[in-house]
Amino acid sequence: MKASPSPLRVLSGIQPSGQLHLGNYFGSIKPNLDFQGKADQSFFFIADLHALTTLQSGELLRQARRDIVLDYLACGFDPQKSIIYFQSDVPEHTELMWILSTVTPMGLLERAVSYKEKVSKGIAATAGLFTYPVLMAADILLYQANLVPVGRDQKQHLEITRDIAVKFNNTFGKAFTLPEPLIREDVAVVPGTDGQKMSKSYGNTIPLFGSEAAIKKAIMGIVTDSVGVDAPKNPEKSVVFQIHRLFLTQHQQESLAEEYEGGLAYGEAKKRLLATFLEHFSPLRERREEYAKKTALVDEILAEGARKAKVIAEETMENVRELVGL
């Protein structure tokens, strides 16, 4: 008798540490949206426990959690097709983290590039920041996720998750599915306005739901080279083009690239990007405003999401506890 295939589970989480930006949207949110209705289950969680490593104000965290839920819903997450919840509403996350930490080699965490980068940028070198990858592993393994859409910069964390899962499975017995990272190479690293990776920590983002003035300021401030106004330009070296292409079909990209090569002025190119951005996100902004008025509905969506997530998390933990002897 042929074994039934494992259910396709796609999982993604995001920290409520500031406004969502274009890098979040194309690097994680949109790839997840593409799986709605295709995956057997889609999980989207607000990583509020992770956020405590950098955001240590109860008032600010509560507001940030709420804002990012509205952002997610505005972007098109469907509670009928997806499970949306706060990480902290499912205590199995932290229980599994502790159990996983007892089999996680120190050397594995010491090699984590993200920890070193964050500390170098002034974030406090706490135990929580150091063990961040273990909690991330728990977030993923708890739901037996097969696919995790991430940017290229998160690939190492997925590799650490897999290493921890293998270590546990080999030590105690098979408990976890090994997740695969899903990296869309065309948007693996979305450039920021300064040409580096778009990141809140770099201050180079284009906010999805900021004011129109803030969005215009960010786009018109994108760095450009010193090529003359009407001179031919290499689209592959243009940050404006690299961002604009994310919205376009292949044919549209090729057509715009030809205009760059024909001498399209950077000022005009930025105005076109701004128009494309506003056209794309205008319906989402309206949807967000509607959800913001429906406090009870949003609360209900989160409570139901946590309930559904907890059912699956508890199934995993029952097996884990049995294997380790608890």
Please report where in the chains the tokens 């991330």 appear, as a residue: 136
Q: What amino acid positions are annotated as catalytic residues?
A: 118, 197, 200
Among residues 260, 256, 229, 237, which one has the least CA distance to residue 245?
Answer: 256
Do 12 and 43 form a contact (C-beta atoms < 8 A)?
yes
Strand partners, 148: 181
Do 191 and 243 form a contact (C-beta atoms < 8 A)?
yes
Across 268-299, b (16+ Cβ under 10 Å) vs e yields ebbebbbebbeeebeebeeebeebeeeeeebe
Pairing of strands 82-86, 41-46: parallel
CA torsion 186-188-194-200 (nearest 10°) is 140
The C-alpha atoms of residue 280 and residue 278 are separated, in whole angstroms, by: 5
C-alpha pair distances (Å), 38 with each of 76, 167, 229: 15, 31, 46
Q: Is 159 exposed, middle or buried (0-12, 13-18, 19+ CB in 10 A)?
A: middle
Among residues 137, 151, 221, which one has the least CA distance to residue 179?
Answer: 137
